[in-house]
Amino acid sequence: MITIRKLNTLKPATLRRKTAVIIQAFEQDLIQGLRIDERYLAAFLMLTVSAFSDDESVGRRAEKLHSRLDMLSSQQLLRELNGLRHQILKVLGSEPADWDLSVSHAPVSRSDEAVVSAVARSIIEIYLDDLRSPFNIGSIFRTSEAFGVSRILLSPDCPSPEHPRAQRSSMGCTGIVPWGRVDKKDAFEGKTVFALELGGTALSGFRFPENGIAVIGSEELGISPEARKAAENSGGLISIPIFGKKGSINVSVAFGIMMQRWSESFSLKS
């Protein structure tokens, strides 16, 4: 950690940017359960008050946190620091994009070990059928990694997972989940195929296969005729009941809902 003395030598604009970086480092230490240097933090907060003397929103928040340091639990301190950092980013005009915000969940508990084992034994594949948005591609990779998807196959017309927007929204998962491009006629051979599409069996009544490939269709047009035929001759169509006036949800969000149910089906069988 850079010393307070060194921080005091930085140019004002550099110091203001550096405060957000240092606060994020404190947050990471707290998330990992590490002890933090409270004396350093106290001095740093007063430096932050000075650095943002022209902005009351940051100055007041940092000063208030400084006055309450010895009264806060680790979790309370984490939330206070997180709030201060985002206030600083707002003032600096550097608020993060949605894909920069990640959620860390607790490690798998023993009660879930049977589900993890079942997923590990299964071949869960996804076929992206003419999706157009790199953001959605990356988001689907991120969700796939979280739920243990074995492989993602993309139709020739999908954007590349190496597209910068896909890379950002995937949070690095395009480098973790295996993927490749496959023509529709070759993607489904010898596999149990089902597709997320309108007019199918509701999630609650759908029987997920232990091994199979799920087709996710275009944001505008849904699944292709070839994919529909393959699904109807195999595992079928699956739909998410929705009740709003708009009648639709983002494809990557729909995919996440489906994957949670597919994952849940393993716990029912274990």
Q: What is the pLDDT of residues 60-71, one digit of tens each?
A: 999 999 999 999
- The larger pLDDT score, comparing residue 244 to residue 160, is at 160
pLDDT tops 50 at residue 224: yes
Tokens of 10: 């930085």
Per-domain residue ranges for the chain? Answer: 4-95, 110-269
Predicted confidence (pLDDT) per residue in 25-46, tens digit: 999 899 889 988 999 999 999 9
Sign of torsion, CA 163 169 173 179?
negative
Tokens of 88: 């600083």
pLDDT for 100: 53
Between CA 203 and CA 240 the distance in angstroms is 6
pLDDT for 88: 92
Closest CA to 258 of 193, 187, 208, 199: 208
Range scoring the smallest mean pLDDT among 9-13, 73-77, 99-103, 140-144: 99-103
Percent of the chain with pLDDT over 70: 88
| Per-range mean pLDDT, top range of 84-98, 117-131, 200-214 | 200-214
Topology of domain 110-269, per CATH?
A: Alpha/beta knot (3.40.1280)
Q: Give start and end residues of each alpha helix (H) in the chain.
A: 4-7, 12-31, 38-51, 56-68, 74-92, 113-121, 134-146, 164-170, 184-187, 225-232, 251-269
pLDDT tops 60 at residue 252: yes
Between CA 144 and CA 173 the distance in angstroms is 8
Between CA 164 and CA 170 the distance in angstroms is 10
